[in-house]
Amino acid sequence: MAYSEKLIDHYENPRNVGSMDKNEMSVGTGLVGAPACGDVMKLQIKVTPEGIIEDAKFKTFGCGSAIASSSLITEWVKGKSLDEAGSIKNSQIAEELALPPVKVHCSILAEDAIKAAISDYKSKNGVADAAE
């Protein structure tokens, strides 16, 4: 199976690996697991009072595609509003990294993790969800 250069780059030089203090009010934490393979992804965001994501970190215990997907999404969400970050689709990640079909669920993990981090931040800070 041939992996794309972007994927290999994010896997070999992952951006924004690390963690933040999950008890801080400005931090939202998302922890999700993939039922298909048991891989686990933790993604955290630090949000300004204006609702902009100023920093993002991840720790992923999983395959290379999951690591690359989380690395990519932490880059993408920085500087975005919560709503913008929450509307990132796994298909955009899969396309950017040219994930093979069996690895598409790895990008779903990243979408789920950012959504979980956003809702954790919102519930901690009493932010109502935008009308759906």
Phi, psi of 99 (to 5 degrees): -70, 135
| Helix, strand, or coil (residue 54) | strand
- Is 37 an annotated catalytic residue? yes
66 contacts ligand FES (rule: CB under 6 A):
yes
- Which one, 33 or 51, has the nearer CB to ligand FES? 33
Inter-CA distances, 93 with 25, 53, 99, 122, Å: 28, 19, 8, 24
Select from 111, 117, 125, 90 the least CA-distant residue to 31: 117
Q: Is 63 part of the annotated catalytic residue set?
A: no
Annotated active-site residue in 32, 41, 88, 106? 106
Which x/- pattern over 22-61 shows residues binding ligand FES (rule: CB under 6 A)? ------------x-xx-x----------------------
When binding is defined by CB under 6 A, the residue of 53, 93, 109, 117 that contacts ligand FES is 109
Among the options 37, 52, 63, 127, which is catalytic? 37
Burial of 31 (C-beta count, 10 Å sphere; 0-12/13-18/19+): middle
Q: Residue from 77, 88, 99, 106 that binds ligand FES (CB under 6 A)?
A: 106
Q: Cβ–Cβ contacts within 10 Å for residue 78, how many? A: 17
Using the minimum distance from each CB to ligand FES, give the nearer residue, 46 or 105: 105
For 47, other C-beta atoms within 10 Å of its C-beta total 25
> Among all residues, which ones are annotated catalytic?
37, 106
Using CB under 6 A as the criterion, which residues of the chain lie in contact with ligand FES when the complex forms?
Answer: 34, 36-37, 39, 62-63, 65-66, 103, 105-106, 109
